[in-house]
Every structure is written in C-alpha cells, then in structure tokens.
A and B are shown apart, each in its own frame.
Chain A
Amino acid sequence: MTLLAAASIATGVMMLVAAVAALVVKKLISAIIIVGFVSLSASILFLLMDAPDVAITEASIGAAISTVIFLWGKGKIGGEE
C-alpha cells in the first residue's frame, strides 16, 4: 500500500468516526464543530485525490461558511438539545 492510499484511508476512517461522534455527542455546539471537522477532512481527502479545485470549494463552503451559519442558527433557536 502506498503512502497516499494509507493517508486517504486514515482520513476516511477519521471522517467516519467524527460523523458518528457528531450524532451521539450531547451538546449541540460540539456536534456543529464536529460536522465542520468532517468537512475539513473531506477537503483534505479531495486534495489527496488530486482534486484541488474541489478541495478549495469544500474548505471554504463546507468547513467555514456552513459551520458559521449553523452556529448562527443555533444562536437563533437557542437552547440545548
């Protein structure tokens, strides 16, 4: 197995673990941050797979913008889960 394949698989496993963690974690704000982390890992995965164009879009839209919009939405509805 090449180094690239190993890194891709490690990133993918990390994403899966984080995605499950986002479902089971108690606090809503932690879930939002973990979802942002999943997006960031997806962007790294795109970069490893030679798709820098997609990686830039995923990092800015998925990791930055949607995380902040979720945070603002949580601020609007208030309260915990």
Chain B
Amino acid sequence: MIRTIVGLIIVLALSVVVISSVPDYSLPSGLQGVGQDYTERGVNDTGSVNLVTAVVVAYRGLDTLGEVVVLFSASTAVVLVLTLVPMGANPTPSSSIVAFTSGVLPGSIVLFGIYIITHGHLSPGGGFPGGAVVASAFLLVMLGSNKIPGKSKLLASIESLAGVTFGLLGFWGMMMFGQFLNNMVLPAGSPGKLFSAGIIPLISLVIGAKVASELSGVFSSYRKAGGDE
C-alpha cells in the first residue's frame, strides 16, 4: 500500500515537471516541410489514394522492410525460446460461448483482414493491420479448440516466401530505375481503382502474408508451451 502511494507521488511529481516544462507549446498551423510535400505530390507520384499507405510502403518502403526484419527476428526468438519449454498438457476446454463463437466468426474476420490488405491503397489499413486481423482470427480458432496445434511447415514457408518476394520487388525497381523499391515499375493507373498505385498493392499483400504467418506461428508456439487458460 505504501509502495503504491509513493509510486503515485513520484509519477505525479514527474508529470508536473514535464507539463510545466512545455508551457508555450502550440501546434503549427498547417503542414510543413516533408509532410506538405507528401500531401501535395503523393497521389500523383504513387497513385495511392490513402496517403498513409503511400508514405509507409512507397516513400519509406525501406523502413517498412526494416520493420518486417525486426518482426521476423522477434518471432524467431520467441519460437526458439518456447521450443526449449516442455510441451504443456492439453488445455482445459473453453466455455461454450467461446467455443461457439470460434466456430462462427473466424471466416468473416479473415475476409475482413483480406479486405484491409487488398484495399490498403484505397481505404485505411494496409499490410500490417490486415495481417494482424487475419492472425487474430487464427488466434480465435486456437482459443476455441482444446487441442495443441501441430507442426506446420506451411506457415514457415509462407513467411519465408513473403520475405523473399518483398526483397525481389525492391530489386525490381533497382534493376529498372536504379532505385530500391521504386514504385514506378508498374503503371500508377487511375487513383481510386483497385488495380492502381504501382507495386503498393503487391507489397501490401506480401507484408500481410508475412505478418499473419509470423503472428500465427508465435501463437501456436505459445499454445504448445502450455497455456491452461
């Protein structure tokens, strides 16, 4: 109890210090610098209506590749550590509500995730959020079943294939225009159409497949290491 109160006092004191150190902070009016440049030229440059995806995949595509590598190494480490943990017993059966829901919902969740991935350049979303949504459907399936998931070569192959394809798409731009991940190797098309925006939809697909398979692999190894809940 005393520890809680002392912690609360320390946090309050720190927040007073932080808040009082920024008294005259004001939001800049309008966009400036690189943000303004992206919003003005983004649609013409990339053909993507969703400017967030244009920045994430086209302008800063190399950073996204780095992010994918970080996720890959993190999931590899989790799987590696969890294979050292002895296999748990079969989890206790879930309640009938969870069991029923996990039989009904995952199909539509996967469909929604695929929609988010394929329409990343048109509506909010893209590869990463869509892949996470697809993975959460697999998570729901695992929650509803009381069996331990078996070994799956498919997940690992999808993951590796997606990673290699991302790199190859980047080198395609390097071969044609001398620039890694150049978006203009495919025609930009008319903005707002499903088949437009150069290689952005392809990269979204690749990222979605990679994120979904990686997260699903992490879940299944957690499940194998024995969750009883």
A joins B in a complex: yes
Assuming the contacts A68-B139, A69-B222, asked whether A56 and B133 have C-beta atoms less than 8 A apart, the reply is yes
Closest beta carbon of chain A to B16's beta carbon, Å: 15
How close is A55's CB to chain B, nearest CB, in angstroms? 8
Are A56 and B125 in contact, CB atoms less than 8 angstroms apart? yes
Smallest Cβ distance from B212 to chain A, in angstroms?
Answer: 11
Q: Which residue of A lies closest to B226 (CB)?
A: A76
Question: With the chains together, A68 CA to B28 CA distance in Å?
Answer: 40
Q: Mark A55-71, 1 if CB is under 8 A from B, else 0.
A: 11100110011001101
- On whether A75 and B132 interact (CB within 8 A), knowing A23-B4, A52-B124, the answer reads no
Given A24-B4, A64-B136, A65-B215, residue A72 in contact with residue B129 (CB < 8 A): no
Binary A-proximity of B168-210 (CB < 8 A = 1, otherwise 0): 0000000000000000000000000000000000000000000
- At the interface, is chain B mostly helix, strand, loop or mixed? helix
11 contacts between A and B (CB under 8 A): A53-B52, A53-B126, A53-B129, A57-B128, A60-B133, A60-B136, A65-B139, A65-B219, A71-B229, A73-B227, A74-B229
On A, residues with C-beta under 8 Å from B are 23-24, 52-53, 55-57, 60-61, 64-65, 68-69, 71-76, 78
Please give, as numbers and ranges, the residues of chain A lying within 8 Å of B215 by CB-CB distance. 65
Closest 10 CB pairs of A and B: A72-B227, A75-B229, A52-B124, A56-B129, A60-B132, A75-B228, A75-B227, A57-B129, A64-B136, A71-B229
Whether B114 sits at the interface, judged by CB under 8 Å, is no
Contact A76–B126 (Cβ < 8 Å): no
Q: How far is the CA of A23 from the CA of B26 in the complex (A)?
A: 33
Number of B positions contacting A (CB below 8 A): 27
Count, A-B residue pairs, CB within 8 A: 60
- The interface residues of chain A lying within 8 Å CB-to-CB of B229 are 71-72, 74-75
**Other A-B pairs beyond A53-B53, A75-B226, A76-B88, 14, CB < 8 Å:** A23-B4, A56-B125, A56-B133, A60-B133, A60-B136, A64-B139, A65-B132, A65-B136, A68-B139, A69-B219, A72-B222, A74-B229, A75-B91, A76-B225
Please report the C-alpha to C-alpha distance between residue A24 and residue B132 in the assembled complex, in whole angstroms. Answer: 31
Residues of B within 8 A of A60 (CB): 129, 132-133, 135-136
Q: Does B143 contact A (CB under 8 A)?
A: yes
Q: How many angstroms from the CA of A74 to the CA of B143 in the assembled complex?
A: 15
CB distance from A32 to the nearest CB of B (A): 10
Interface string of B96-129 (1 = CB under 8 A from A): 0000000000000000000010000000111011
B229 nearest in chain A by CB position: A75
Query: Given contacts A72-B223, A72-B227, is CB(A65)–CB(B124) below 8 Å?
Result: no
